[in-house]
Structure formats: structure tokens, C-alpha cells
Amino acid sequence: MKLYSYWRSTTSYRVRIALHLKGLAFETIPVDLVKGEQRADEYLPVNPGKGVPALVLDDGTVLTQSLAILEYLDQAHPDPALLPANPIERAKVQAAAQVIALDVHPVNNLRVGQKLKAMGHDQDEVVAWMNHWMSEGFTAFQAMIRPDTKFCFGDTPGLADLCLVAQLYNAHRWGTDLTPFKRLTKIEQLCLALPAFDAARPENQPDAG
Amino acid sequence: MKLYSYWRSTTSYRVRIALHLKGLAFETIPVDLVKGEQRADEYLPVNPGKGVPALVLDDGTVLTQSLAILEYLDQAHPDPALLPANPIERAKVQAAAQVIALDVHPVNNLRVGQKLKAMGHDQDEVVAWMNHWMSEGFTAFQAMIRPDTKFCFGDTPGLADLCLVAQLYNAHRWGTDLTPFKRLTKIEQLCLALPAFDAARPENQPDAG
């Protein structure tokens, strides 16, 4: 498989973690979001959504959108599972993951920051914007995960954990106040001690700057 | 079942369509987002994410996040199916739906509009902001669906169609230029002619203003 990825993209980070957790070999094809390579004519057939990640399967099929890719990987390569089989438990894990994947990340995406700057806001205002949505999202997320488990929903990391760890990378980068989120940073610490998470870290990618 | 819903919430609209398509009876509990009822203390235990929809199952279990709810409904009540069974086909339908559910809707959410106003932008700027993301998203979406089917991916409406129809409600409301999206408005027309979509329309809800 090949993964179109950008080292600092948190959606790419989620998929990298899943690939490593499941022991799947892949080649990284870097797409430099800051240079705008995701908007290049030659990238459009890969992903009309002009973003990363995009996963190219061995038969040439291209899959886009990190949550769709993650669910595909979990169906095609079920061990270890990212999602529980029980429909209600599954929906609860997905809902927590989606607080990060829908309520936080899209509003803080690079293109949204660039749009805010085009509307006259400076870097400090963009950072305050990002931190606002992260604080709101982490508050909801922390209330939605299980209070008594090692990882978000059990003894092994799953979909919610990998969305969390990737988003916390941004939180550290932009100085979000994480004091109220001790359980989340504890889970992050446990995750990052695992080789699969470590291999997927932004700074361990071939295109890291 | 009970559905916490707001008539103009496009995420509530998606779930209403699915419930009607699957012939599931539900009671609507209106949450007035404009009045801020989603942030009330008594709503927090329902959804720590402070949004709608939230679906209360007959045993009292509460599910949140529209995409998680939709996938639950599709597992628990598989007929008619919203998603194909084949993992790759499934991932393609999900990716198209997620262009709307992740790249468009969260950036245009009521709370984002309110935040932009708090940062000094007027209604015209907020509307231009929303139209920008809708045009970008519809362009990607139109390139990702099948070109030769009645609905987005087949002869019957599925996850991508119901996300599309709900988002187009906002597009009409805010005057998005839909000239480049003839295939999408054609699909919308076919969908809205179906009783399930009609019953789910914002203007047919008990809390419609």
C-alpha cells in the first residue's frame, strides 16, 4: 500500500497509527500541504477533496477521508480491532472519535487557518481560534470516554485513542491549556510508549521538517 | 426511540431521513439551538458535545454524533441499507458523505458562525464563508460519486444522498451558486420526491419556525 501523507497532518497521523498497529507495510508519499501540493492538478485524480491522507491499495484503488480509511482497514484487517463489534459500543467509540474528527479538526484545518488570515486575522488570533475548539472538544471527549479503563474504552488502544493522540500533537504545538485534561494526557503517554504510535509520530516521518 | 433534534440542524435532518427510510417510529424532542438550549445544564448529560442530534434508544441508551447514529441504525435495522456491505464500496460512499460531514458542515456550524461574529465579522461575511466551503465541498463531492447512477451510488438513496440533501437545504438558505452542481440538484429533486425525505424536511418538523 501507499499512503499520501503530510508529516504534521493529524488525519494522516491517525491512519499511520492504524497501519502500524495492524502491522501493515506501506510506502509514504509525502504531500507538502504548506506548499499547496494537495491542490496541484496531478493530485486531483488521487483526491478531489484536495487533502491528505489518501491510501492506495495494492490493486490501485484509492481511498480518501481518514475515518473511511480507518473503518476500511478495520474491516479488511480486523486484528487488532479499532472498533468493538457490538453496534452500541461501536457507536459510542465512534461518537467520541467524531468529537475530535468532526467538531475539532475540520474547524482547525490548515485551509481554515489560511482562510481566517485572508480575512484579516493574524497568527495569534488563529491560534486562539484553534485552542478554543480544542478546549471545547477535549471537554466533551473526556466526558464521553470510559472513566475506568487504561485507554479510552478498554485495555487496548482503538479509534478514539488514535484520534486523540493525533489531535494532542496539535494541542502541544499551539499551547492549548491541557490542565483540565489529565486523563487525556495520561492516555497519550501510554499510547506514545507503544511502537506503533511512536513510528507514526510526525517527527518520525520521511518528510518531517 | 426519541430524537433530540432542531428543525434546521442538517445533522438532525440526516438522522430523521434515515429513521423514516427505515420505517422506525420516533418522538421528536426539540432543542432550540438559536436559544442555546444545547448548552443548558440539563442537556449536558444527554450530549456532552452540546449539540444535536442525540438518539435515545428504547432501553435509555443515548447515542450522539450523526454519523455514529447513522451507522448504528444501519447495523441494527439493515433494511433498506444506507451503506454497501463490500468494504471498498462502503469506504467510497463514506468518503463522499464525509466530504460533506467533515469538510463542509463542521466549518459552517451555527457555533462557528457565532464565533466569527464575536470576532467582528458581519452576517454577509459569515454567509460568504459558508458559501465558500459549500462550493469547495460540492465540487469534491460531485467528483467522488458515481456519474451513471440515479442516486449518488446506486438505484436507491444511501448515506451520501442523505448527507447531500441536508447540506443542500443550507445551500438554498444561504444562496450558494449551485449552477456547477446540476447532478447534485437532480439527485436532491429525486430524493425529496420520496416520502421519507419529505417527512424529514426542516419545514415539516414540530419545531419549525
Closest-CA distance, B123 to chain A, in angstroms, reads: 14
CATH at residue B130: 1.20.1050.10
Give me chain A's average pLDDT, please.
97
B203: in domain: no
| pLDDT at residue B34, as a whole number | 95
What's the pLDDT band for B108 if we cut at 50, 70, 90? very high
Residue B54 bridge partners (DSSP): B4, B64
Q: Is residue A165 domain-shared with residue A102, that is, in the same domain?
A: yes
Q: Is residue B73 domain-shared with residue B149, that is, in the same domain?
A: no
Residue B42: count of CB within 10 angstroms of its CB: 7
Q: Is residue B62 domain-shared with residue B92, that is, in the same domain?
A: no
| pLDDT at residue B87, as a whole number | 98
What's the pLDDT band for A72 if we cut at 50, 70, 90? very high
Closest-CA distance, A68 to chain B, in angstroms, reads: 5
Give per-residue pLDDT as tens, A152-167.
Answer: 999 999 999 999 999 9
| pLDDT at residue A81, as a whole number | 98
Average pLDDT score over residue span B162-166 = 98
Closest-CA distance, A155 to chain B, in angstroms, reads: 22
A147: in domain: yes
| pLDDT at residue A8, as a whole number | 98
Q: Which of A80, A102, A126 is the last residue of a domain?
A: A80
A209: in domain: no
Average pLDDT score over residue span B14-29 = 98
A157: in domain: yes
Average pLDDT score over residue span B140-166 = 98
> Using the beta-carbon criterion (under 8 Å), do B49 and A94 form an inter-chain contact?
no
Q: Is residue A102 domain-shared with residue A170, that is, in the same domain?
A: yes
Average pLDDT score over residue span B106-128 = 96
What's the pLDDT band for A185 if we cut at 50, 70, 90? very high
Domain of B128 in residue numbering reads as: 87-196
| pLDDT at residue B39, as a whole number | 96
| pLDDT at residue B166, as a whole number | 98
Q: Is residue B74 domain-shared with residue B123, that is, in the same domain?
A: no
> Using the beta-carbon criterion (under 8 Å), do A68 and B125 form an inter-chain contact?
no
| pLDDT at residue A166, as a whole number | 98
Q: Is residue B152 domain-shared with residue B119, that is, in the same domain?
A: yes
* Backbone dihedral angles phi then psi of residue A123, each to the nearest 5 degrees: -60, -40
> Using the beta-carbon criterion (under 8 Å), do B102 and A101 form an inter-chain contact?
yes
Average pLDDT score over residue span B46-59 = 97
Q: Is residue B124 domain-shared with residue B52, that is, in the same domain?
A: no
A202: in domain: no
CB contacts of A106 in chain B (<8 Å) are 102-103, 106-107
Q: Is residue B190 domain-shared with residue B92, that is, in the same domain?
A: yes
ipTM for the predicted complex comes to 0.97
Residue B51: count of CB within 10 angstroms of its CB: 27
Nearest to A48 among B64, B69, B144 (CB): B144
Residues in A whose CB is inside 8 Å of some CB of B read 48-51, 57, 61, 63-65, 67-69, 71-72, 75-76, 87-88, 90-92, 94-95, 98-99, 101-103, 105-107, 109, 112, 115, 119, 121, 125, 129, 132, 136, 139-140, 143-144
Q: Is residue B120 domain-shared with residue B165, that is, in the same domain?
A: yes
Region of A120 on the Ramachandran plot (φ > 0 left; ψ -120 to 50 alpha; else beta): left
> Using the beta-carbon criterion (under 8 Å), do A140 and B75 form an inter-chain contact?
no
Q: Which of A39, A56, A80 is the last residue of a domain?
A: A80
DSSP string of chain A?
Answer: -EEEE-TT-HHHHHHHHHHHHTT---EEEE--TTTTGGGSTTTTTT-TT--S-EEE-TTS-EEESHHHHHHHHHHHS-SS-SS-SSHHHHHHHHHHHHIIIIIIHHHHSHHHHHHHHHTT--HHHHHHHHHHHHHHHHHHHHHHS-TTSSSSSSSS--HHHHHHHHHHHHHHHHT---GGGHHHHHHHHHHHTSHHHHHHSGGGSTT--
B205: in domain: no
Q: Is residue B103 domain-shared with residue B180, that is, in the same domain?
A: yes
Q: Is residue B66 domain-shared with residue B166, that is, in the same domain?
A: no
A70-102 as b/e: b if 16+ CB within 10 A: bbbbbbebeeebbbbeeeeebbbbbbbbbbbbb
Residue A171: count of CB within 10 angstroms of its CB: 23
Tally of domains in chain A:
2
Q: Which of A64, A80, A96 is the last residue of a domain?
A: A80
Return d(Cα B74, Cα B68) in angstroms, integer.
Answer: 10
| pLDDT at residue A106, as a whole number | 97
A206: in domain: no
CB contacts of A65 in chain B (<8 Å) are 94-95, 98-99, 102
Average pLDDT score over residue span B71-86 = 98
CB contacts of B103 in chain A (<8 Å) are 49, 51, 106
| pLDDT at residue A30, as a whole number | 98
CB contacts of B68 in chain A (<8 Å) are 91-92, 94-95, 98
CATH at residue B7: 3.40.30.10
| pLDDT at residue B59, as a whole number | 97
| pLDDT at residue A205, as a whole number | 98
Q: Is residue A91 domain-shared with residue A191, that is, in the same domain?
A: yes
CB contacts of A98 in chain B (<8 Å) are 65, 67-68
| pLDDT at residue B145, as a whole number | 98
Average pLDDT score over residue span B99-105 = 98
- Search chain A and give the residue with CA nearest B56: A88
What's the pLDDT band for A188 if we cut at 50, 70, 90? very high
| pLDDT at residue B117, as a whole number | 97
A204: in domain: no
